[in-house]
Amino acid sequence: MAFVKRYLIPRLILYFLVIWLGITIVFIIPRVTPNDPVMKMIDQMRARGSTLEPGSMDGIINDLTEMYGLGGSWWDQYWAFWGRLIRGDFGVSFFNFPARVNQLIGTALPWTLGLLLTSTAISWILGNILGGLAGYYTRKRWSRVLDASAMVIRPLPYYIFSFVLLLLLTYLVRWFPITGGASLGAVPTFTWEYIKDVVWHSFLPALSLIVLGGTVTFQTMKLLVQNVNAESFVQYAKLGGVTENRIVGKYIIRNAIMPQITGLALSLGQIFSGALITEIVFGYPGLGMLLYRAIINGDYNLIMGITILSIVGITTAILVVDLTYPLFDPRVRYK
């Protein structure tokens, strides 16, 4: 009972409060931007050669405003938005009409999940292993080389690093495709040929995320290991004759990995940083590319749908890590 009152309930309250606040901000931000999706639709109709009579203009604008859920005051739109959200309905897409937002997200989500989960797991594992070893064996030559390489790579912006990879490995040596998630005309099937094609197209986007994300994890883990290595219990273990392998694995790495577990959950926010830019550079058909198109076209519903999905996903991941953290660290107790 003490666990429920003192630990679980406060975190659940904070969990729902963060989600509500995040969704409310997401609702407000697109409506203060200068893009008007209704007028964009009217301009597109005119650009395609459609003739609009002056008397019918107001009727078309009213119909589009009602269809897109933009009628009434912001307060009315806010309540209507929450009503649709509770039903799991994000409405129709403005620039992909009449496709619904749920359908567009469902198509792009597997691409982003496959790219992000794989690259995040690899970069986290490699970064922690190499950073832990480099932090302990600081005087080794390979440790200094890795540290110097990380210091050069980490400050590079995602788009610069991705663009360099694109130039080197697609235009110069032509090892990988320039854009897309699969070959043109490829039918999604659970076959080795299609899987190989998808992996081939996703290699460069994944490589950019793994290298840049891995350098951050590497440097963080290296500093954590150096701090733990200076602790008195580690020095006592060395004086007591404990083997070096046991000191590194059981004493240092195990204690230094705790903050990195929390960082693993926070790294899912890459969709708004590196993953978004990487998908745009490589033309990868994921949520990042879909979000970019939605922002350019002022698609309120699609922007809110993708952002809300990210808010709920990241917040849920942090909640799960928070609730399971005592399983990894026995010093933490449900009190």
pLDDT tens for 80-99 read: 778 778 887 777 776 776 77
Average pLDDT over residues 16-33: 81
Residue 202 sits at φ, ψ, to 5 deg, of -90, 0
pTM (two decimals) = 0.74
Average pLDDT over residues 111-118: 83
Mean pLDDT for all residues in the chain? 77
pLDDT of residue 49: 56
pLDDT digits (tens, 9 = 90+) for 246-260: 877 777 877 788 778
3-class DSSP assignment, residue 100: strand
Residues 273, 158: contact at Cβ < 8 Å?
Answer: yes
Say how far apart CA 239 and CA 292 lie, in whole Å. 57
pLDDT at 334 over 60: no
Peptide bond into 98 cis (omega under 30): yes
Average pLDDT over residues 31-52: 62
Burial class (CB in 10 A: 0-12, 13-18, 19+), 58: exposed
pLDDT of residue 274: 57
Residues 207, 168: contact at Cβ < 8 Å?
Answer: no
Confidence category of residue 234, pLDDT binned at 50, 70, 90:
confident
Say how far apart CA 290 and CA 305 lie, in whole Å. 11
pLDDT of residue 309: 83
pLDDT at 70 over 70: no
What is the dihedral sign for C-alpha 218, 222, 223, 225?
positive
Average pLDDT over residues 172-199: 74
Is 334 or 14 the better-scoring residue by pLDDT? 14
Say how far apart CA 167 and CA 159 lie, in whole Å. 12
Strand partners, 92: 100
Q: Which fold would CATH assign to domain 108-281?
A: MetI-like fold (1.10.3720)
| Residue type at 9 in one-letter notation | I
pLDDT at 324 over 60: yes
What number of helices (H) and strands (E) belong to the chain? 15, 0
pLDDT of residue 38: 63
Confidence category of residue 44, pLDDT binned at 50, 70, 90:
low
pLDDT at 41 over 80: no
Rg (CA), the chain: 25
pLDDT of residue 319: 82
The domains of the chain are located at: 1-99+297-335, 108-281
Say how far apart CA 300 and CA 302 lie, in whole Å. 6
Confidence category of residue 60, pLDDT binned at 50, 70, 90:
low
Say how far apart CA 72 and CA 75 lie, in whole Å. 8
| Residue type at 238 in one-letter notation | K
What percentage of the chain exceeds 90 in pLDDT? 0
pLDDT at 22 over 70: yes
Say how far apart CA 54 and CA 261 lie, in whole Å. 61
Average pLDDT over residues 5-9: 73
| Residue type at 201 in one-letter notation | H
Buried b (16+ CB within 10 A) or exposed e, 218-257: bbbbbebbbebbeeeebeebeeeeeeeeebbeebbbebbb
